[in-house]
C-alpha cells in the first residue's frame, strides 16, 4: 500500500477534498485523523473509513486557533503514536468576499484566520510531530487563483491562498534537510459545495468554466489523488512545489514569464 504504516492528519475532513482524501489515504493504508468543526459530518467521514476496514479517529478543532491546532496534533500522537502526513486543507470562501472596495474587514480577517493563519498554526504544531517521527510530508491546500486571480472577485480568498504558496515555499527550504517535504496543492475550479455556493448562478459558473480548457469543474476525488501522490514516497524528490491540478487553466492563461496572456 502506498501509505502503509503512515499516520495522516487531514483538516477540513468533513467534506470536499478533505473527505475524499481521508477515504483515499485510508484505502492506501494510512491511519487517518479527520479534523473539522462540523462534528456530525466529521464523524461520518470516520464511520465511512471504518466501514471499509480502515483506521481513523475524529478530532474537533478550529484551525484558526493555536489551541485547536495543538490539540489535533496531540490527538494524532496519542491515538496512533506518530504523525507522518500533515494535510492542511481546511478553508473557507465567504459569500461577501468581493473586491477591495466592497469587502468588509470582518470578511477579510476571518478568511485570513482560517485559510492562512490556519496553515501556519497547522505547521507550527504539526512539523515538530513530523520531526519526532523522523520526517514526513506536509501538503497545504492553496488554489489556482493565487497564480492567476479570480474571474469572479474574491480578494480575501485569493490573497490568503497567495500567502499559502509563499509560506509553503519557505517552509520547504527550511525543512528540506530534515526529511520533511512541504508542497502546495493548487486545485482549479471544483464541483464542491463551497465553490458552488459561491458561484450561485449559472452565469457565474459559466464565467469560471470558460477559462478551463478541459471544460468542466474538477472533482474532489481528483484532488485527493494528487494529494496522495504528494503524501506518498513516490514524490520523495518533490518539495516547495505549487502542484497545479486545474484542468489546464494556468497553461492556457499564464505565459512563461508568469504574466497574464491576452
Active-site annotation, residues: 157
Beta strands in 89-207 (DSSP E): 136-141, 180-187
Q: What residues contact 154, with CB distance under 8 A and at least 6 apart? A: 93, 97, 98, 145, 198
Cα Rg of the chain (Å, integer): 17
Closest listed residue to residue 92, CA positions, set 106, 74, 78, 82: 106
Residues facing residue 32 across a β-bridge: 8, 56
121 touches 66 (CB < 8 A)? yes
Per-residue DSSP letters for 17-70? Answer: HHHHHHHHHHHTT-EEEEEES-HHHHHHHHHHHHHTT--EEEEE--TTSHHHHH
Amino acid at each position: 500500500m502506498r501509505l502503509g504504516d503512515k499516520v495522516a492528519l487531514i483538516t477540513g475532513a468533513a467534506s470536499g477534498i478533505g473527505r475524499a482524501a481521508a477515504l483515499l489515504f485510508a484505502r492506501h493504508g494510512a491511519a487517518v485523523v479527520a479534523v473539522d468543526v462540523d462534528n456530525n459530518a466529521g464523524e461520518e467521514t470516520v464511520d465511512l473509513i471504518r466501514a471499509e476496514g480502515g483506521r481513523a479517529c475524529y478530532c474537533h478543532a478550529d484551525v484558526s486557533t493555536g489551541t485547536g491546532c495543538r490539540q489535533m496534533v496531540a490527538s494524532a500522537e496519542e491515538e496512533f503514536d506518530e504523525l507522518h502526513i500533515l494535510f492542511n486543507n481546511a478553508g473557507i470562501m465567504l459569500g461577501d468576499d468581493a473586491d477591495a472596495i466592497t469587502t468588509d474587514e470582518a470578511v477579510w480577517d476571518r478568511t485570513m484566520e482560517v485559510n492562512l493563519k490556519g496553515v501556519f498554526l497547522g505547521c507550527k504544531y504539526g512539523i515538530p510531530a513530523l520531526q519526532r517521527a523522523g520526517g514526513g510530508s506536509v501538503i497545504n491546500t492553496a488554489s489556482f487563483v493565487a497564480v492567476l486571480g479570480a474571474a469572479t472577485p474574491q480578494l480575501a480568498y485569493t490573497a490568503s491562498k497567495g500567502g499559502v504558496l509563499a509560506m509553503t515555499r519557505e517552509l520547504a527550504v527550511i525543512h528540506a534537510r530534515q526529511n520533511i517535504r512541504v508542497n502546495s496543492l493548487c486545485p482549479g475550479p471544483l464541483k464542491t459545495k463551497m465553490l458552488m455556493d459561491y458561484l450561485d448562478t449559472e452565469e457565474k459558473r459559466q464565467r469560471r468554466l470558460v477559462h478551463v480548457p478541459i471544460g468542466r469543474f474538477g472533482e474532489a476525488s481528483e484532488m485527493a489523488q494528487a494529494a496522495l501522490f504528494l503524501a506518498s514516497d513516490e514524490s520523495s524528490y518533490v518539495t516547495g512545489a505549487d502542484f497545479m491540478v486545474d484542468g489546464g487553466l494556468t497553461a492556457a492563461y499564464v505565459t512563461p514569464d508568469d504574466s497574464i496572456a491576452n
